[in-house]
Amino acid sequence: METDNTQVIVNKLNSLELNTYPREEILSSFQGLRTIVPTVAATLECGRIVVRGTSYNSTDNFSQISRFSYKPKHLNTTYQRASIPQNTMFYGSITSNIQEEPNARMCVLAEIGRTYREGVPKETLMFSSWTVIKPINLIAIIQSEDYPAPCLQVLLLQRQYKKYFSEFSGRDFMNYIASQFAREDIHNNEDYKYMISAWFSKIVCDGDYDGVIYPSVRIGGAGMNVAIKPQAADEKLKFFGAAKCNVVKEGKNISVIEQEVTFFQEDGTLGYRPITNEDYNIK
């Protein structure tokens, strides 16, 4: 009978000098795990909205839907929270039905917005919305208790995890993986700090799952992010629309002001029209 080596694996991973990019050591550690790893599955049902953000550049062509989707894999040259180099994922934030929780746009803004992260006074972003048209099956990475402001969905999933898996020794491994997803101490040119969460996501997506769902680190767990593999994104998401927005920071307040929204032209490409009062039912 094989013995449980969970803590040995966790200690080994924790001792790695990630700045040496120890890919083989990480993969061999994952493969050497000899215990059941408990996971919580989460499904995005049909009709759910996923919001994605893109930095705006006036020289870019935003007439194609693909411009709003996942980055082509050959352009992804670094590790990210849930993706490895020369691979790619559809990153986005999901809407919440809890009025007090941040909306998906604010989660996106916290992840990519310079107004939020760097305090610049103004920027322009493109926000796109995607509708789930087939159920998307994800692994929920929610075990970390390092988030200072976890949203209700995180708390419910954590409660479910503790209830059903309190006796599983593999919990130590998943708790460690969750701590890697929750890392905040990552700066420019430190993509190696994403290696463990990124390779775990790759293994998940090579299996039966469409991706992972995890709390937004940038807003303390108050919102939820998803990383969906390209094939699943192509088959299970439908482009709903996009808006060009000015993001303005005044003191501690950040405002998102829509300027233009997309519409489909006769040739199937995207056109843009200015926002009017009628869009907001203002009389």
Beta-carbon neighbour count of residue 277 at 10 Å? 8
Nearest C-alpha neighbor of 192 from the set 78, 73, 28: 78
DSSP state of 74: G
Confidence at 282, pLDDT banded by 50, 70, 90: low
Confidence at 102, pLDDT banded by 50, 70, 90: low
| pLDDT given at position 121 | 94
Share of the chain above pLDDT 90, in %: 65
Q: How does pLDDT run across 162-189, given as a tens digit for each residue?
A: 888 888 888 889 999 999 999 988 888 8
Q: How does pLDDT run across 177-233, given as a tens digit for each residue?
A: 999 999 988 888 899 999 999 999 999 999 899 999 999 998 888 889 999 999 999
Q: How does pLDDT run across 114-153, given as a tens digit for each residue?
A: 998 889 999 999 999 999 999 999 999 998 888 888 888 8
pLDDT of 283 > 90? The answer is no
pLDDT of 273 > 60? The answer is yes
Region 254-271: what's the mean pLDDT? 94
Q: How far is CA 72 from CA 51, 67, 75, 189, in A?
A: 18, 10, 6, 21
Nearest C-alpha neighbor of 76 from the set 229, 235, 254: 229
Q: How far is CA 222 from CA 69, 96, 130, 148, in A?
A: 24, 10, 21, 8
Average confidence score pLDDT of the chain = 91
| pLDDT given at position 177 | 94
Region 22-31: what's the mean pLDDT? 96
Check if the beta carbon of residue 182 is closer than 8 Å to that of residue 144. yes
